[in-house]
Structure 1
């Protein structure tokens, strides 16, 4: 085959004994036994840019359908014929050159622009990553020119927030930049960060050290995060609230961390009102059913015995298990769920405090106001006077 390829113009083909992963190589591989198809599949994974042509021995021609399943562009059957071999190679080479001439890849485009964190290619890639649109490792490899390997995120934070409208302080027109700058300052030497404005939320995509399977177990990172929250609150009157997903070392699973962060953000926090970890959400099926019941009936005067009965638990057992699994007792959890439900009414409508408290299941406006202040830190009226941060 080597001699036959010499009929092409010089330097068209060169022998390559140990190709790199990113190289474009024409690989011929003999299929002498069925297991060799497994090796073909492995070659496809290891050399995603390359063109792989199996050469099938005559007694295994019945297995050539596997080539179609593997989406291979061609195959040859022994004994090889020079004319047929050269015809197929010429066709593959022409097809490759046409594709190369007509297609400019994200990798090639990104090489023409600045390599800083504002790269539109970096942003586009990260958005595709959290949407689950990055489907193969080759796209990860190609992202290297605008997103180095150590910056590929393994965890996602979903962030919302509001600003206190302090008459003695000038209005903060660019809260988003303030937030991202404070994050970058505090995490400058601990973890690489990326930010996305996504569906009116701010997403923080971070790569934490590989030895940690949870952000909450990374004490240095947690300390930096708490410092960010405190600095923004104290110096800029910005209050952040976030859901934090799990850690996924496989970049193509980062979309799961985003999904988890969204779910976590909607649930009552365990301790710090500003932070909710997905891993703190109960995975116990009966408790998930109970929580769903609470979220469906929050505007009613539900009791612990109502919910316990709904999932066929005794009230005592349910109370103990609920506290263990959610980090809050039943009364606190229901109250916090109701508070979460009041937020859109306070932010978007001109309803009175009395009407909102009634809509969301609180017995009296006073009880609503006191409960709201207990958990949120300010009264419903003060919250209504804050400015929601819209990340866009």
Structure 2
């Protein structure tokens, strides 16, 4: 407990109702039989409580949860904890719980399962709140020391710690748009990767994040042919059997767990760029690292609604049109006209999804000469018309 007042108050309450029944101990041994009261001030404190359970199998852990974290109390059930308290502490509730625990301990001491045995029944692969909390902290860059990675082994085995992140979006174009798309997607992924790689999924903002650990010998997902084949099969199965269309950005592989946040950041950037081969997959490693071309691409994204020419952009970065055209195709995998058209298509998607703009207005707003040219270009790259796309339902991973 952070507050010395709270500690003193609890001691006085105990002595008043159960004098000499408890002895305060500042340092416990693993074999001790104790009630350990631990204050939960942040979500990651639940991980520490889980660790206490494993380190002190003969003890009873009682979390004291601060008011702003009461939404997380379901974790106590997940951890098979017999009781919990909410701050501010109330004497009547505190004593009622202590009496119950003390009586239960006296009656069932010989026959009850130890908490260690109970904790061993929680599978490493179980999607528990503290595992999810750890993975979210990992991709946010909040895990900043090796010790925390090591300690995560109590709920996430080392061979399940991800080394690559996929950022997934999608839509449904079938009749059954109320289907639980998220569950379908995760199930199909697990079925196809069951013998290939450990997977974890997070609903993050409005995206679905797939966190995967690919074999160590591969420094790129593209070089892992079995994995890429599984990914393509997942995309095709979802499209064919469930009318679910996925689009994803793929980050690089990082063997250092504390750098997985970089893979997430890369996956976000890749998702926003035109793909090279497959419209469904955009790899960060395919994005140009050429400084001048990055500047040119930024210019295209800022001026996509204007009548851009290759000469305009080449002049902007002081390149000849011929040299720029050749280098642009080599670095981006697309010629200039295709790249600009695809960039404009990406920019039109929010207008189709969120607003009631006419196709004519969207076309003119985003740099297309005519509505017909816009519709033809959209169908060429996306596979369906703008109107059909508007009638699909975006999958919001919440």
Aligned ranges 1:279-298 → 2 under 5 Å: 279-298=285-304
Offset at residue 118 of structure 1 (A): 1.4
* Cα RMSD (Å): 1.7
Task: Structure 1: give runs of 5+ residues left out of the alignment.
Answer: 1-93
8 Å Cα contact 1:162-1:239 kept in structure 2: yes
8 Å Cα contact 2:304-2:366 kept in structure 1: yes
8 Å Cα contact 1:165-1:385 kept in structure 2: no
In structure 2, what is the equivalent of residue 346 of structure 1?
352
Aligned ranges 1:167-316 → 2 under 5 Å: 170-316=176-322
8 Å Cα contact 1:264-1:281 kept in structure 2: yes
Offset at residue 95 of structure 1 (A): 7.3
2-structure distance, mates of 1:385, 1:288: 35
1:184-231 per-residue CA deviation (whole Å, 9 max, x = no partner) reads 000000000000000110000000000000000100000000000000
8 Å Cα contact 1:229-1:239 kept in structure 2: yes
* 2:128 is the alignment partner of 1:119: yes
How many residue pairs were aligned? 295
Aligned ranges 1:23-172 → 2 under 5 Å: 102=38, 106-109=47-50, 112=79, 114-115=122-123, 116-166=125-175, 170-172=176-178
1-structure distance, mates of 2:242, 2:38: 51
1:34-77 per-residue CA deviation (whole Å, 9 max, x = no partner) reads xxxxxxxxxxxxxxxxxxxxxxxxxxxxxxxxxxxxxxxxxxxx
Secondary structure of the corresponding residue to residue 227 of structure 1:
helix
- When the two structures are superposed, what TM-score results if normalisation uses the length of structure 2? 0.72
1:228-264 per-residue CA deviation (whole Å, 9 max, x = no partner) reads 0000000000000000000000000000000000000
Offset at residue 375 of structure 1 (A): 0.2
8 Å Cα contact 2:174-2:242 kept in structure 1: no
Query: Whose radius of gyration is greater, 1 or 2?
Result: 1
In structure 1, what is the equivalent of residue 387 of structure 2?
381
Select between 100-109 and 205-214 the one with higher mean Cα deviation. 100-109
